[in-house]
Amino acid sequence: MVDGVKAWRQNDAARSCGTKRVAEKQGGSSPPRELVRRARGVSGASSSSGADGYQVPPSEEAKTAVIAELKATFKVATADDQVLTLRDIIVNVTDESLLRLALGSKDELAKAKRLTCSFKFYPVIVENLSSCVREAFPDCDAVKHDFQKAWMGRKFNGWGFTKIVLR
């Protein structure tokens, strides 16, 4: 009976993650998180979006250029009965501005331009662009939906802004 329980535990350990299984074979506990990150090629210093949610902001000149383009492309609406989503803004902003907001990441830019790609795959552009929109139009109301919801007659997920329309 004891051998059956022991075999079950060994099979259970074999199904667990590889780093834990290797550490158990070596006689220790699971390795420190820093060693696992180094083995995967992830370094906290070069990441633009770390696990703790810290975002590296764009430079001031890049931010002012994007804000100037937003003010040239969009205007303050007279009525606040329309919602402008972040996807609408991404479609109407130039690739150069989006690349500034992506901190030079062409991979994030390509994902942002793809209409079917989820916002979670380009978080740097989302956070930097939403902060630029809120700075360019301080009177706009901003709402963030983590899941698709209706707001003011329009269904969307991600960021939505009122009192802003295309010129």
pLDDT tens-digit profile of 123-159?
Answer: 999 999 999 999 999 988 888 877 777 777 777 778 8
Burial class (CB in 10 A: 0-12, 13-18, 19+), 123: middle
* Residue 52 in domain: no
Whether residues 36 and 65 share a domain: the answer is no
List the domain range (segments joined by +) for residue 112: 60-166
What is the model's pTM? 0.63
CB 101 within 8 A of CB 124: yes
* Residue 150 in domain: yes
- Residues in CB range of 70: below 8 A, 6 or more apart: 89, 93, 132, 133, 136, 137
Whether residues 112 and 31 share a domain: the answer is no
Whether residues 24 and 75 share a domain: the answer is no
* Residue 109 in domain: yes
Q: Give tens-digit pLDDT for 92-121.
A: 999 999 999 988 889 999 999 998 888 889
* Residue 46 in domain: no
